[in-house]
Structure 1
Amino acid sequence: MADHYKSILVAVDGSKEAEYAFQKSIDVAHRNKGSILNIVNIIDTRSFEAYERSIFDTAQKQSEELLNGYKARAEAEGVENVKIVIEYGSPKSIITNELTNLVEADLIICGATGLNAVERFLIGSVSEAIVRSAKCDVLVIRTP
């Protein structure tokens, strides 16, 4: 029997690339019965230093709405174990270092060019960083 993934982490950020990754994560969760689907959004706090609390609160609210929407969709499509996780900091280091351990992921799914609305100049580098430093399998989704 092929390897069975137990804890799947999919990183979402509201981009269409993340949408493709989410769709694929549903398929993978279905093929790995009993697995947990961890839907993760990272609030990039590096961009907030010069701003006030309200911007941070807005970002957190948007993150919660995004994740709750994805969770509802995953459950509607029959995925039984869905967790949502909001983390704060640099997406690159958070996904590769902290999150993988936190949810004990054995598979990370991400879009090819994770697009962060605040820091568009980072395009592409988040998925590259994940591939370079993740301790588990990584599935980079390029197309719908």
Structure 2
Amino acid sequence: MGLTYKNILVAVDGSKEAEWAFKKSIEIAKRNQAKLLLAHIIDTRTFATVETYDRTIAERANQFAEELMNRYIALAHSAGITDVKYEIDYGSPKIKIPKEVAKQFKADLIICGATGLNMVERLFIGSVSENITRHAPCDVLVVRTEKD
């Protein structure tokens, strides 16, 4: 029978790599009859550049996340996946996903996109996918290619 996954956590952020990760997660969830949890962590560091913390930015980020999640949930349902939930939270995605969300959800697989950081950014902060891989309590699939 081999290895099966029961609780699959997908980190999505609106990027095309995350979209590919989501599409692959659908296939894997179907093959394993697994539960799917979509997680979108709104990176609070993106607000740190704004002098006065602007509520409308947070609200826009949240609205974007809600729309993204609802679209993904509809796609999952139309692919025949019934057990799908989502979580929107604030903080640092590279810490929250592997250290908090994965543990709460009892994830046995985390799927994420290879985030497109440039060399300098990677040097100083490391990519989200790198950090998820380093700190995850379970298997991690980093998606770099579009599904056929």
In structure 1, the partner of 2:136 is: 134
Separation in 2, partners of 1:136, 1:114 = 23
Question: What's 1:12 paired with?
Answer: 12
Show CA shifts across 1:29-48 (max 9, x none). 01111x11001111011222
How far apart are the structure 1 equivalents of 2:97 and 2:103? 9
Between stretches 15-24 and 122-131, larger displacement belongs to 122-131
Preserved contact between residue 21 and residue 112 of structure 2 (Cα < 8 Å): yes
Are 2:45 and 1:46 equivalent residues in the alignment? yes
Name 1:66's counterpart in structure 2: 68
After superposition, the C-alpha distances for 1:50-100 in whole angstroms (9 at most, x for unaligned) are 321111111111110011110110111111100011111011101111111
Aligned to 1:125: 127
Contact 2:103 2:137 in 1 (8 A): no
Residues 109-134 of structure 1: CA deviation (Å, up to 9, x unaligned): 0111267xxxxx46961000111111
Aligned with 1:4: secondary structure? coil
Task: Give the share of equivalent positions with the same residue, in percent.
Answer: 57
Q: Which residue of 2 aligns with 1:118?
A: none
CA distance in 1, matches of 2:19, 2:4: 24
Residue 104 of structure 1: which of 103, 106, 125 is its match? 106
SS of equivalent to 1:2: coil
> Which protein has the larger Cα radius of gyration, Structure 1 or Structure 2?
2
Unaligned runs of 5+ in 1: 116-120
Q: TM-score, normalised by structure 2?
A: 0.87
**C-alpha RMSD over aligned residues:** 1.8
Equivalent position to 1:95, from 79, 97, 116: 97
Q: Distance in 1 between matches of 2:79 and 2:107?
A: 21
8 A Cα contact 2:20 2:113, kept in partner: yes
